[in-house]
Structures are given as structure tokens and as C-alpha cells.
Amino acid sequence: MDVLRLTIALLMMGFSALSAYVDTWSIQVSPEVRTIEGYPAVLPCSFTHPTHTLHSSMNVVWRLGHTRTSTVLFRCSSLNGSQQCETGPDQDQRYRLEGNHREHDLTLRISSTALQDNGRYYCGVELPDQPHGSYENKMGTRLRVEAPPRILSLSIAGSVDTGLKALCHVQGSPLPDVQWTGLDEVLDSESEAAPLPQEAPDRHRTTSQLLDIQPGGQYTCTASNPLGNDQATVYILHPSPEMSKNHSSRDDALTVLLLLGIALAVKFLLFMGGLGGLFIKWHVGSKSLSQSSK
């Protein structure tokens, strides 16, 4: 009798578990997908649903981000049991449904990925004919787009008088390491990555600066990460004699003009002083004549 009761209890527990399973929506995704810049990325997503759920019409939605500021990247609609999931006229053609939504496969394909595609993606299903019929994966899939280093620019800032520095702007994922060399020796430098939000595209860029560089030097910037390296070299020429002569001539000309201006100012003051003296003499003479006539 006890064995029979135990068997019945186990069967009831099994039916309860099965009922709980079939009455629950479930969406499965891959935690992370990696690709290389320029290549496609495939984000797997599949779902199960309660057996009694009718979903003749459904929408498939893929979002980037999981907050109020998330962006809808892909959306298609399948109405009246159609095997086709139609997108809107404004849909970015880089995104397309790779799987068959009628077979519970919502896999998304992104073609020609770029560093800007890095982020966490969420797939979901919407049932227009059911109240509150919206289901979305809560964990999301982390897409990592990797790229070899690329030197965006190499420039010189400052002047000989105030000090020269070299600036090397690089890009890559993972973020490249930057090293400076000059005449077969490694030079100390400073690298700075802007404090940007985690999903911002510019977080894959950094700027390295080399201070106190000198005319006549040759400086090489090398950026590297596990996918490769990139290199650029800058040469700093000495000021030419003509430039130095012209610079000296300009200084001499400014000095002459300044001295000439001072001389003219002094002459003007002396001239005004002379006029003042004549005016005083005239005034005194006029006063004397006036008194004599009286």
C-alpha cells in the first residue's frame, strides 16, 4: 500500500513538473559570440512555448541593450500563420533572420561587422493577438568584434621654443599596446584612453604621446594586439638656414621699426615741448606789452 501511494505521488510530481514546463516560455541564446571586423556574426536564439499557446501572428525583435535607451536593430512580422517574416521599409539590410521563426529559431545574422557592433544583444517574441504576449531573453548575447591595430594618424604638436611632442592615434580590439622607438631604442611615452561608456565605439581607440622630442630625430609608433601590429614613422627636420635667417631678419626689422617709432615719439614730444615754450614766451610777451601800454 505504501509503495502504491509512493508511486502515485511520484507520478503526480512528474505530471506537475511537465505541466510547469509546458506552461512556461523559454528562450535560449549563446552567452557570447566572437567575430573579426568585416566578417559576419551569427547570434543564435531559439524558444519554446506552452503547448496550448496559439501564435499564428508573431513579431521577432532583436535589440541592442536592455534599458530604456536600447535600440531596436531588427524587427519582422509574420501574420496569419505565414512562413515569411516581413521587415519594414526602413530595416537595415545588414541584419536578417537566419533561422525559421515557425520552427522556433530566431537566429540573427549581421553582415560586415564593425567595431561599432560591439555590445549585448537581446532577442524576443511578441504575440499581437495575446495580452502581455511579449517574451525576451534576460541575459542577452555579448557580441565581441575584434580588429587588428590600425594607426589612424601620427602628428607633431608644439614648437621648438615651447617643446615638441608626437601624437599617435590608434584603433583596435582588444585595445592595442603602443610603443615608441627612436634609433633602435625604446622610448618612454604616455598613453591615454578617453573615459567613455562601456558600449561606446571609441573605447577601442587610444592616443599615445611622446614628449620632449628633438629636431633631427626619427620616431616610430608601433601598435600591437593579438591580431597583429601596425607601424608609422615620423621624421623631424632641423630648421633650414634660410628659415633661421628669415626669422633673424624679421626680428631685426621689428627692432628697427620699434627704435624708429621710439625716435619719432621723442621728436614729437620735443616738438610739442618747443611749441609749449613758444606759447609761454608769446603769452608772457603779450602780457608785458599790455602792462607797458597802461
At residue 118, the 3 state secondary structure works out as coil
Find out whether 56 and 65 touch, Cβ atoms under 8 Å. Answer: no
Lowest pLDDT segment from 86-90, 130-134, 141-145: 130-134
**CA–CA dist 250, 255 (Å, integer):** 9
**167-206 burial string, b = 16+ CB within 10 Å, else e?**
bbbbbbbebbbbbbbbeeeebebeeeeeeeeeeebebbbb
> pTM value?
0.67
Cell readout for 49 is 512555448
Q: Domain 147-235 carries which CATH code?
A: 2.60.40.10
- The owner of cell 633661421 is 244
Q: Judge if the upstream peptide bond of residue 131 is cis by omega within 30 degrees of 0.
A: no
Highest mean pLDDT among 43-57, 139-153, 180-194, 262-276: 139-153
**60-78 burial string, b = 16+ CB within 10 Å, else e?**
bbbbbbeeeeeeebbbbbb
Residue predicted with more confidence, 287 or 133: 133
149: nearest Cα among 61, 48, 228, 258: 228
For residues 49, 51, 56, 59, the Cα torsion angle rounded to the nearest 10 degrees is 0
Per-residue pLDDT at 13 exceeds 70? no
**CA–CA dist 57, 123 (Å, integer):** 17
**CA–CA dist 190, 212 (Å, integer):** 12
53: nearest Cα among 76, 26, 85: 26
Mean pLDDT of the chain: 77
Q: Per-residue pLDDT tens for 266-277?
A: 445 544 555 454
Output the pLDDT for position 190: 63
Q: Where are the beta strands (DSSP E) in the chain?
A: 26-29, 32-36, 41-43, 45-48, 58-64, 71-78, 86-87, 95-97, 108-110, 119-126, 134-136, 141-159, 163-173, 177-182, 185-187, 190-192, 205-213, 218-225, 228-235
What's the rounded mean pLDDT across residues 99-123?
A: 95
Find out whether 46 and 118 touch, Cβ atoms under 8 Å. Answer: no
Q: Per-residue pLDDT tens for 165-205?
A: 999 999 999 999 999 998 778 887 665 544 333 344 468 99
Spell out the domain ranges in the chain: 23-139, 147-235
Cell readout for 7 is 508511486
The yes or no reply on domain 23-139 and CATH 2.60.40.10 is: yes
Output the pLDDT for position 117: 96
Per-residue pLDDT at 153 exceeds 60? yes
